[in-house]
Structure 1
Amino acid sequence: MYYSDSMQGKIFCCDYPSLDNQRIFVEVEGGGAPDGSCIDAQGYLWNAEWGGSRVVRYTDTGKVDRVIQSPSVQTTCPVLAGPSYETLYCTSARVGLEKPTDSDGELIKAEEMFSAGLPEVRFAGPLNS
């Protein structure tokens, strides 16, 4: 399992379903903060960088494999969607921007095709309040 700590600029991982063996997966470089992520069929992590204008694909060992530039400054959460899960979409935000662009706060679609993604797992457990 992966999770981002935007304030620390790090993506962590642990051995799911427990939280044992928590460790740093990657320390984000380039000025952005790690935000939402998704996993593709190869087991690679796609992470949106808040303030970094990009989505980064990391190998299963944490090495940068690919960088997709975004027209939005504040990318928030990527997903591989479509019939074959090969289209990259990413949400973005415009909150806190003095001069937002037309792309900030929009759903952004990448023009090229990517490696296949995976369907999202639906939560079926009880909700604890």
Structure 2
Amino acid sequence: MKRIEAGQFTKPLTHHGEGPVWLDRYGLAVLDMLAGDVVLIDDSGTETRREHIGEVVAAIRPRHDGGFVAGVERGFCLLDDRFAVTGTAPCWTAPGVRMNDGDCDPLGRFWCGSMAYDLAPGAGALWRLDPAGGVVKAIAGIGCSNGLAWTRDGTRGYYVDSLTGRVDILELGPDGEIANRRPFADVTGEGFPDGIAVDQADGVWLAMFGSGLLLHFDRTGRRDAEIAVPVRQVTACTFAGPDYSQLYITTSRFGLTDPEAAAGAVFRATPDVGGFAPYAFCG
């Protein structure tokens, strides 16, 4: 199995880094999730801008006609080009549950999943915001909704409910609803599966929170590579840069009484196969 070392790209910028995404002219964005901040980073690894969105910002993606869509503590919001909130779509009111991670699909819809703050089993769900503004609870009874990413041709999504210890495949039916969910890769006992990124060959990079590793699975589910990060709490990853050849990795200091010096920094690695641009929300 191939082993790749990741290099440190930024100084520690976040307490709980999550949700990295390439925002084209804005560059790389990472989330300081539990602070509710979007952090923009330039090519040198320097923080250039920090925008506060709300109590929690769980995921952010570009909108097709400008601005952004985001998952916030208890639902969705729309943002303009200055990151000001222009609309909201609440999903629930219970204070013990928050959004956690999300992605846009090739049909221009934004998906984001929830989890209980105390990780109560079954308290979360996978939600979808449609371009017309409708909100759909696509899957109920989720433990900790985490990584979600779609293949370039849109034929499948990869999805992590961390409490299951695995990555699943989501297949969409002709109406755009989830027609089939089936296991793809099981990592039970190896750590806490977290965020993911999909490459051009439909392979998946999976961040393993607590282990300092990202694992790669080809499109058949065979593990064939890993990336080592010198920080235990790796949270998420994304392909970014003008040609999407490099993988950027977020890390966290959350819950650590004695965190590593680089915890909260962004790391960077160059896998053999690159990625592609994130899908945009069409609403």
Q: Same fold (TM over 0.5)?
A: yes
The equivalent residue for 2:240 is: 81
Query: Is this contact kept in 2: 1:91–1:108, CA < 8 A?
Result: yes
Map of 2:204 onto structure 1: 45
Q: TM-score, normalised by structure 2?
A: 0.42
> Secondary structure of 1:7's match?
helix
Q: After TM superposition, which residue ranges in structure 1, 4 or more long, deviate above 3 angstroms? A: none
Tell me how far apart the structure 2 counterparts of residues 122 and 102 of structure 1 sit (CA, whole Å): 35
**In structure 2, what is the equivalent of residue 120 of structure 1?**
278
User: In the alignment, is the contact (CA less than 8 A) between 1:44 and 1:60 conserved in 2?
Assistant: yes
Matched to 1:8, the amino acid is T
**Helix, strand or coil at the partner of 2:163:** coil
The amino acid that maps onto 1:71 is: P
TM-score by length of 1: 0.87
Q: Identity across aligned pairs (percent)?
A: 33
Cα RMSD (Å): 1.5
Q: Distance in 1 between matches of 2:198 and 2:169?
A: 13
Aligned residue in 2 for 1:4: 160
Query: Which letter does structure 2 place at the counterpart of 1:123?
Result: F
CA offsets 1:77-128 (integer angstroms, 9 cap, x no match): 1111122211111011110122211221111112x45312111101224xxx
Deviations 1:4-56 (CA, angstroms, capped at 9, x unpaired):
11122111112134312211111115622111111111111111111121111
| Aligned position for 1:95 | 254
Q: Is the 8 A contact 1:32 1:53 kept in 2?
A: no
The correspondence for 1:24, drawn from 164, 183, 189, is: 183
- Give the conservation status (yes or no) of the 8 Å contact 1:87–1:114: no
Change (3 A) 1:30 1:104: farther
The structure with higher relative contact order (CA 8 Å, sep 6+) is: 2
Which of residues 216, 222, 226 is equivalent to 1:63?
A: 222
Q: Report the number of matched residues.
A: 124
